[in-house]
Amino acid sequence: MRCIVMSDTHGHDDDVRWLLEQAWKEIGPVDYYLHCGDGAYDFMRLENFIRRRDEFAVMAGVSGNCDVGVPGLEYHQVLPIGGAKVFLTHGHIYHVKSTYTYLDEAAKERGCSIALFGHTHKPFWEQRQTLLINPGSAADGRLALLEVSQGKPRFQLLAY
């Protein structure tokens, strides 16, 4: 399963459209589009644009600290992707600006092997109890490509 992971779009819809177009030149069809918060309304506005390319892709997002009042969004989701359980969150409630321990524990407690997050605007990855991946801010031209097959992840940070 191929996933595009984005976070922290912060109202930059046009920039994110351009960013996705650049990524699409390099990669094949995408199965999941995942948004790690702070731009939930942006992600909703991008749905028709994304569906013109990947009509049946799963789109999932979470609420970040700047997404006040977005109906129906939780602070985290657990998604089964390619034989793995993926923890999707913005990260602010896990204090990721000062430590990754709480995020790692929260993902592990839910049986996840991968945790995707944002909030810091900085690309980051580290294998702990779970594989922690932050794509960086899409508003700054950053995405991540995550591929999961038989529970094994591969990922690449994309910057344009």
Domains and CATH numbers, the chain: 2-159 (3.60.21.10)
**What confidence category does residue 63 fall into, taking pLDDT thresholds of 50, 70 and 90?**
very high
For the chain, first and last CA: distance in Å?
Answer: 23
Residue 118: name the closest of 85, 96, 99 by CA. Answer: 96
**What confidence category does residue 77 fall into, taking pLDDT thresholds of 50, 70 and 90?**
very high
pLDDT value at position 69?
83
Where do we find the tokens 């995408």?
A: 30
- Cβ burial, residue 134 (10 Å; 0-12/13-18/19+): buried
Cβ atoms within 10 A of the Cβ of 125, count? 12
Contact call for residues 16 and 38 (beta carbons, < 8 A): no
pTM beyond cutoff 0.85:
yes
Mean of pLDDT values over 82-87: 99
Task: Quick: pLDDT tens for 97-144.
Answer: 999 999 999 999 999 999 999 999 999 999 999 999 999 999 999 999
* 44 has pLDDT over 90: yes
Mean of pLDDT values over 73-94: 98
Task: Quick: pLDDT tens for 114-126.
Answer: 999 999 999 999 9
Query: What does the DSSP 8-state code read for residue 65?
Result: T
Mean of pLDDT values over 49-75: 96
* 68 has pLDDT over 90: no
Per DSSP bridges, beta strands 124-127 and 131-134 are antiparallel
- What does the mean pLDDT of the chain come to? 97
Contact call for residues 128 and 100 (beta carbons, < 8 A): yes
> What crossing angle do the helices spanning 13-26 and 40-53 adopt, rounded to 10°?
40
Q: How far is CA 128 from the centre of its chain?
A: 18
The fraction of the chain above a pLDDT of 90, given in percent, is 97
* 20 has pLDDT over 90: yes
